Structure 1
Amino acid sequence: MHRYAALLRGIAPSGPNMTNDKLRGVFEDLGFEHVGSVLASGNIVFTSTATDVPALERRIQRALSSELGIPGGTIIREHGELRTLLDSDPFPGLTHGRGTYLTATFLKDGATAPEQLPDQPDSRTRVVGYDPAARVFLAVIDNSDPGRTPDFMSWLDRTYGKDITTRTWLTVQRIVKKLES
């Protein structure tokens, strides 16, 4: 059995079809085991014997769309990928806060990795890098002015469209903890 985290795009906890119990129900109906949710923002952990991640992503997304009307994307990472990412400590000495908003933007499995990162996205963003094994961009954002979207986030959207989803570093840590419980 493999432990996976599904990072669902476009989940609004206030949406009547986007509650954790309904999301978990879709995963359970698909035959996955040890299904659990992390926070109320579209993070589902589960076990499966399946190893074809792109096929899992498509299967889950079809079910979410048909059963709950959720059109967003599904991005899956295996427990080992996330554990290795955490162990690499990409944000040494930093604490998540308004001025140091630590983010991880995951690419859909099979998405093309960047040939290069954008040059100096803006003064409010420090791109830590791209981890090819976990297929994730890591950035520190000064989020003290929430009315402005940093250029780096806009670049990600323009380049990868709906084939990405962003989580805070705290959420990634919580997902890994849930996978290990």
Structure 2
Amino acid sequence: MTRYVAFLRGVNVGGVNLKMAEVARVFEDAGFTNVVTVLASGNVLLDAGTSAATVRNQAEAALRDAFGYEAWVLVYALDTVRAIDAAYPFEREVDGHHSYVTFVTDAAVLDELAALPPTAEERIARGDGVLYWQVPRAATLASTLGRTMGKKRYKSSSTTRNLRTLGKVLSR
């Protein structure tokens, strides 16, 4: 069994409102064990005896069937998420700024996003399958990465979590 983190994209924003207790039940019904949700933003810890790709496919199908929305889920081994979090290259807590990790499963999309020129106030660094990102609090949606990430092309293969959320996921 492997402990995985499943990050649901676009949950409890933009009209997709899911109760985490119901999400946990759907994951359990799909055959996953030791299911725990963290916060209301679509973070699920679970155990499975299959690959991350299989977990992703099963989770997306289960969510689509249960809730009737176009579900996108990015799945990583818990140890991988720990390593990604530990590798954050910027100062973790900067007053007036958000510190994020954008998880990206498509190499071409990661290349595109990593090539974006940051605004003067944001910092972007490429990691292993992720972008590390720091941006002023009031500028997240207006920043280069913030504007780009909202486009449909990126939704199925990327999702962003702030470091505080990752900390809560990793402390479970």
Which of the five TM-score ranges fits, normalised by the shorter chain? 0.7 to 0.9
With over 3 angstroms needed to count, the CA separation of the structure-2 counterparts of 1:18 and 1:96, relative to structure 1, is farther
Cα offsets for 1:101-152 (capped at 9, x unmatched):
00111113x543417833532123111x1211xx211110012356x52112
The aligned residue for residue 103 of structure 2 is 106
Percent identity between matched residues is 24
The aligned residue for residue 6 of structure 1 is 6
**CA apart distance, 1:96:** 5.4
Distance in 2 (CA, whole Å) between partners of 1:117 and 1:145 is: 19
With over 3 angstroms needed to count, the CA separation of the structure-2 counterparts of 1:103 and 1:140, relative to structure 1, is same
The aligned residue for residue 170 of structure 1 is 164
The 5-angstrom pairing of residues 23-102 of structure 1 reads 23-51=23-51, 53-92=52-91, 94-95=92-93, 97=95, 99-102=96-99
With over 3 angstroms needed to count, the CA separation of the structure-2 counterparts of 1:120 and 1:63, relative to structure 1, is same
Q: Kindly report the root-mean-square deviation, in angstroms, between the aligned alpha carbons of the 2 structures.
A: 2.5
With over 3 angstroms needed to count, the CA separation of the structure-2 counterparts of 1:105 and 1:116, relative to structure 1, is closer
TM-score by length of 2: 0.86
Distance in 2 (CA, whole Å) between partners of 1:66 and 1:116 is: 31
**CA apart distance, 1:171:** 0.6
With over 3 angstroms needed to count, the CA separation of the structure-2 counterparts of 1:16 and 1:145, relative to structure 1, is closer
With over 3 angstroms needed to count, the CA separation of the structure-2 counterparts of 1:122 and 1:79, relative to structure 1, is same
With over 3 angstroms needed to count, the CA separation of the structure-2 counterparts of 1:119 and 1:31, relative to structure 1, is closer
